[in-house]
Amino acid sequence: MPQYYIKDHHPAIISEEEFQAVQQEIKRRYNMRKDPDGKYRMNYSGKASFSNKLFCGHCGRPVVRRRLTSQTNGEKYLFSAWQCRVPVGRDPDFKGCNGRYVWEIDLEDCFTELLREMRNNRDEVIADAEQAIADKRLSEKEIQGSVVTL
């Protein structure tokens, strides 16, 4: 049977703005699979708070979350830790990093302390952020040069 496409024939389930926002998020997650230099891929994960936000201090590769088992007094227990993907074996093309893991609970505690410090020094944090924005802001000449007319 012949098929025809008729634009705006029936009411949309979602608005055009929502559709475009979803398309942008899909593109962002796809681009996350590569770093700017194209050396390694990352995967989007909404399960862990620190996913795709931490990088190894030794080699610069992404840090991944691991579930590890340990033993104390003959009793086994599980814990979560974050470690560079190279020693974990998830980056076989790269060698030479021996980054150790960091317990997730320690990472969460440090992050919570950082948030507490930011709250207590709110004015200083805002001033630093405004200065960083001003340092990166485009000049009028750069803005005029970036305008493309069709």
pLDDT in tens, 66-82: 888 888 888 888 888 98
Same domain, 24 and 90: no
Same domain, 49 and 97: yes
Residue 150 predicted with pLDDT over 50 = no
Place 99 in a pLDDT band, splitting at 50, 70 and 90. Answer: confident
SS3 track for 74-117:
CEEEEEEEEEEHHHHCCCCCCCCCCCCCEEHHHHHHHHHHHHHH
pLDDT of residue 40: 60
Residue 30 shares a structural domain with residue 76: no
The predicted-structure confidence for 109-125, as pLDDT tens digits, reads as follows 999 998 999 999 999 98
150 inside domain: no
Distance CA 54, CA 60 (A): 9
Q: What is the mean pLDDT of the chain?
A: 81
Residues 37, 84 within the same domain: no
CA distance 83 to 57: 10
pTM of structure: 0.55
Q: Are residues 74 and 130 in the same domain?
A: yes
Contact 97, 58 (CB under 8 A): yes
What is the rounded CA–CA span in Å between residue 104 and residue 127?
31
- Lowest mean pLDDT across 4-8, 11-15, 100-104, 106-110: 4-8
Overall number of domains in the chain: 2
| 149: pLDDT strictly greater than 60 | no
Q: Indicate whether 51 and 19 sit together in one domain.
A: no
Domain that holds residue 24: 15-44
Q: Which SS3 state, helix, strand or coil, does residue 11 take? A: coil
